[in-house]
Amino acid sequence: MRAIRPQRSGALPLLVAGWAGAAAVMALWWQNTLVVRMDLAEWLTGAGRLTGLLSGYAIAVVVLLMARVPALERRVGSDRVARWHAVCGRYSVSLLIAHVGLIIGGYSVQSGTGFADQTVSVVTEFPRMIEATVGTVLFLVVGFVSVGAVRRRVRYETWYYLHLLTYAAVYLTFWHQLATGAEFVGNATARTLWYVLYGAAGALLLWYRVLTPIRLNLGHRMRVESTVYEAPGVVSVLITGRRLHRIGAQPGQFFRWRFLTDGLRWSSNPYSLSAPPRPDLLRITVKANGEHSEALSRLEPGTRIWAEGPYGAMTAARRSQEKVLMIAGGAGITPMRALFETLPGEPGDLTLLYRASKTEDLALWRELREIASARGARLLYAVNGPDGVRPEITPARLRELLPDIGDHDVYVCGPTGLARQSYEALREAGVPTRRIHHESFEM
């Protein structure tokens, strides 16, 4: 087998670039701060200006990370991009709250008025403050529904559409930054750079979240061909369309699917391809785990589909070793099944370990057996015992199955508990972190 050159992760350079941008924002604030006096009002307003600038920068990064830029998602991974988006969102809202409190506090100390009176004065007398206040409230609403405890209690559709308020909030607060920000008033260079920052993020968002999906769906015109029962609560959806191979999807990737029928047209959910894409056919396999996934078994042939993608970095491009272990659990078998069929390898190079509660839950098992037989690959499964005891994935068990486990690349896809347990066992068994490939699509 010829040498394999893995695709390098772009995470570190992007993190460096992001923190460098934050440092540049702080330098802009420092350049405009001529002198720092030991005065409470100036300390408060100075800190308020800095947190406002950093919040504005973080908001631009949030918009960029919402754009689903394919190169970014493939190089870094959709789950990591989503985590970055969530972290930047928390930073931006926290900095925004600090900015409001510090600025009004500083003005209040300076003028000798109460905090509430000063708030009314700032909102009603400063330019662009009405819009900024509305935008700030919208940011707080989005931040509130994104808190884990709240997010778990609201419907995905409710969270998703409230999340769209972010765009209105960005627009409303942007003009306030330029109208009253001390770093931008009278500084044409700073204003131009701020326009470029937000303009670039907005352009990427428009291109990849609006225009690219329109082009994809008008060009390929996807529809449901049929649904196939695979296992209890598991159904495959066969999707037809025009020139589907030109989409460029790879085994291991996923799309966000919107089925244009009653009860589903307002929901867009991520499902992985469960078979290699064909010029005339795509397939997803879904385990019922909520209203949306349960409704897919009732899809009528001919139902139109709106898709976005492909997304995801858990592809053959991540591979660096000749030998590969795949660990799947639950719905995680879908991308693994596609990789199991398509990853290059000689007999004995590929191993798939499938974790399920019971043998009846081993979806696509017949296909997996046929692939394993044709390719000389190892296919293993682990199910609960008669007493319901779950077989644990341990370092000792991994070494017993694969004595050379340290020389493998490992792909993991499944519930959070399985992924965490597998990661810890793999690391203890001698697999380097860089060779453990995992993406989570939980919402």
DSSP-derived letter for residue 363 is: T
Specify whether 149 is located in the same domain as 286: no
Q: From CA 353, how far away is CA 420, in angstroms rounded?
A: 15
Last residue of a domain, one of 262, 291, 311: 311
Specify whether 210 is located in the same domain as 289: no
Q: Residue 333: which H helix or E strand, with range?
A: helix 333-342
Specify whether 187 is located in the same domain as 242: no
Give which of 77, 4, 153 is closest to 437, Cα–Cα. Answer: 77
- Is position 434 within any domain? yes
- DSSP for 255-304? EEEEE-STTTTT--EEEEBSS--BTTEEEEEEE--SHHHHHGGGPPTT-B
Output helix, strand, coil percentages for the chain, rounded to the nearest 5. Answer: 55, 15, 30
Total domains in the fold of the chain: 3
Cα dist from 177 to 26, 126, 272, 355, whole Å: 15, 12, 41, 52
- Is position 109 within any domain? yes
User: Which residue shows structure tokens 């923190």?
Assistant: 19
CATH code (residue 227) = 2.40.30.10
Specify whether 255 is located in the same domain as 342: no
Q: What is the pLDDT of residue 185?
A: 87
Question: From the CA atom positions of the chain, what is the Rg in Å?
Answer: 26
Q: What is the pLDDT of residue 2?
A: 41
Length of the chain, in residues: 443
Give which of 179, 84, 174 is closest to 136, Cα–Cα. Answer: 174
- Is position 2 within any domain? no
- Angle (deg, nearest 10), helices 165-180 and 40-66: 140
Specify whether 60 is located in the same domain as 126: yes
3-state secondary structure of 305: strand
pLDDT in tens, the chain (443 residues): 444 444 455 678 888 999 999 999 999 998 887 666 668 888 999 999 999 999 999 999 999 999 988 888 877 878 888 889 999 999 999 999 999 999 999 999 999 999 999 999 999 999 899 999 999 999 999 999 988 888 888 887 788 888 899 999 999 999 999 988 888 988 899 999 999 999 999 999 999 999 999 999 999 999 999 999 988 888 999 999 999 989 999 999 999 999 999 888 888 889 999 999 999 999 999 988 777 778 898 999 999 999 998 998 889 988 999 999 999 998 889 999 999 999 999 999 999 999 988 888 898 999 999 999 999 999 999 888 777 677 888 999 999 999 999 999 999 998 888 889 999 999 999 999 989 998 765 54
Q: From CA 82, how far away is CA 99, in angstroms rounded?
A: 25
Task: Give all strands (DSSP E) within 106-233, no chain letters.
Answer: 223-231
3-state secondary structure of 413: strand
Burial of 30 (0-12, 13-18, 19+ CB in 10 A): exposed
**Containing structural domain, residue 90:** 11-215
Q: What is the pLDDT of residue 169?
A: 95
DSSP-derived letter for residue 317 is: G
Specify whether 417 is located in the same domain as 338: yes
- Is position 43 within any domain? yes
- Is position 1 within any domain? no
415: which 2 tokens?
């519930």
Q: What is the pLDDT of residue 443?
A: 45
Specify whether 44 is located in the same domain as 174: yes
Q: From CA 260, how far away is CA 250, in angstroms rounded?
A: 25
Report pTM: 0.83
Specify whether 71 is located in the same domain as 191: yes
- Is position 202 within any domain? yes
Specify whether 243 is located in the same domain as 193: no
- Is position 5 within any domain? no
Cα dist from 49 to 4, 30, 324, whole Å: 51, 10, 52
Last residue of a domain, one of 199, 215, 231: 215
In Å, the largest CA–CA distance within the chain is 82
3-state secondary structure of 145: helix
Last residue of a domain, one of 189, 215, 241: 215
With beta carbons less than 8 A apart as the criterion, state whether 281 and 225 touch: yes
